[in-house]
A and B are shown apart, each in its own frame.
Chain A
Amino acid sequence: MKFYTISLIILLLLLCGCSSREHNNPFDPLNPETKGAPTGLEISSNRDTIIFRWSPVEVDDLEEYRVYFSNGNNPLQYLQNVRATENQLQLIRCFYDIRYNFAVKAITKYDEGPLSDSVSIIPGPYNLLLTDYYDYTLKRLSYDGNYVYRITEITSPIALAADCGHGIIFVASYWQHSVFYLNRAFKITRSVELSNHPVDMSYDARSNRLFLLEKGENRLSVYSREGNLQEMVALPLECNLQTKIALDVISNTVWIASQNDATVIAVDFSNPERSVKNIAEIAVSGKVDVSPVTDGCWVATDSGVVRITASGNFSVFKTEYHITDISVNPDNGDCYYVGYRRSDNRWVAGRLRFGMQIIDEVLLEQDYRWLYAIQVIPGANDAGFFVMQANTWRLLRFDANGHKIGELPEYSAQLDFFLE
């Protein structure tokens, strides 16, 4: 009895003599989360400017931060010191399409901390605006497709356009029968009520006009930048979710492709009478996109990519493929496409390079399947493209040679893009 009691008391005392303190000092190399280095690293780019931020290291006697950087695959090298009261660094005049890597360490009066993990970004002339119909979101993504800069919720955003000069983003909401006007900070500044569901729209920044198609209507509505209805043009087809619009600002022509009516029509706005021409009857399967370089348009169809000239002549490429989406580089006329070969379900992404003769270049083949949307990065030189992969619901960013440089998860297949 006495033995057990004494044993229990000793055990009790032993149990008491423990400490469960954790290494929570952010500068402590034994801290399991920070490992002694700055955390909360964020990086963003706007054209040729990169902003690198980190969470402040809250310790006494902090003197400064030391920032390291490199470009490409080079090792990190010292860039500059940042005062302890600041926790960001701005690097200007960066080169486009080159990867920049950054890391930072904290320096106190007594010691120099370890280097943080590195973060990287590829700056470019554009950021990507993107609406996701099923996710109810409008997002601004980085040029390299690795970061989401801003996000806001909008009900069923079916179409997206923007007036970059005036800082207006137009988002058409399918279920709310409205077009919302947002500023650069994604705050809704105005909304235009529609009589029906919007299905697609396009904005002409030169004439400040918004061209809009509504479901179940046989018309093309034209709104001013202020949201006033200017005119309506009667169309020989009824619009639905598979009706797509594209605007050629050079020839002042609106191209409309309807999957249900298997028709492509052109509305000539340079003519005061707004002549509407039925250009071709083809099995439209996706988007129509204009080519200001070459005049005319490109259409994604069930039997390849179709190029239609302004006079109505058309030629077909990739005839054995079901094309799910196309995107035309407005600066050089190249048409990027995604689709699959009907005979063996072989998925491809490629481009039809426009020149004296059109050359087909396959960029992705078999490595990526279920590609349902593509957006090319405009530019005289090839800068790459975004594609949306349906089975993994990822948005993938590739460079001009088809090498993946970025990806973001959780996207649906019903996207609309705009490069701002």
Chain B
Amino acid sequence: MRSIAFFISILVCFELTLGQNLESCNLLSASVARDSLAIKSVEYLQAQPASPHRLNWNKRTTIGFGIMVLSAALGLYCHNQAEQAYRDYLHCGSYQRMQRLFARAQRYDRLTGWAYGVMEVGFVITVFSFDRSK
């Protein structure tokens, strides 16, 4: 289940990146389509100096990174709690306590899942906060 979620998050990133690339491609093809032999936009052929590669740390990055770190810590805590509850459940000799421990393990499993999901959202926010086109 976690691997499906991870795969979907990759898809989200891919979709956002691909969308922007397609938009710039459409602009280029519109300008060239008028006369395929003539070089109308010479500036495209001229060497462009590369802009200095610098991370643009901004408010969105801080929020995204913060979400990512906090939810990762929360996820780890919940995971450990779930594991502990399940270990106790496996050797429990009381039906009542057994059910309680199993339910606790399941509840913490769900919380772990949510925390990791939020962590992935934080990751996506962090990655896209570096996008200077916006």
Contact = CB atoms under 8 A, between A and B. Distances in A.
Closest 3 CB pairs of A and B: A19-B109, A16-B113, A108-B93
A132 to B, nearest CB: 42
B130 interface: no
Secondary structure at the A interface, as helix, strand, loop or mixed, is: loop
B52 interface: no
A27 B90 CA distance: 9
Nearest to A29: B95
23 contacts: A9-B124, A12-B12, A13-B118, A15-B5, A15-B117, A16-B117, A17-B113, A17-B117, A18-B1, A19-B109, A19-B113, A21-B86, A21-B105, A21-B106, A25-B92, A27-B92, A28-B98, A29-B95, A60-B92, A108-B93, A110-B94, A110-B96, A111-B95
Contact of B114 (A16, A58, A109, A110): A16
Contacts of B117: 12-13, 15-17
B15 A27 contact: no
Given A5-B12, A25-B98, A19 B105 contact: yes
B21 to A, nearest CB: 13
Contacts of A27: 92-93, 98
Interface residues of A, number: 30
Interface of B: 1-2, 4-5, 8-9, 11-12, 15-16, 19, 82, 86, 89-98, 102, 105-106, 109-110, 113-114, 116-118, 120-121, 124
Contact of B89 (A8, A17, A25): A25
Interface in A11-53: 11-13, 15-21, 23-25, 27-29
A110 B109 contact: no
A5 to B, nearest CB: 6
Interface of A: 1, 4-5, 8-9, 11-13, 15-21, 23-25, 27-29, 58-62, 108-111
Contacts of A109: 93-94
A16 B119 CA distance: 11
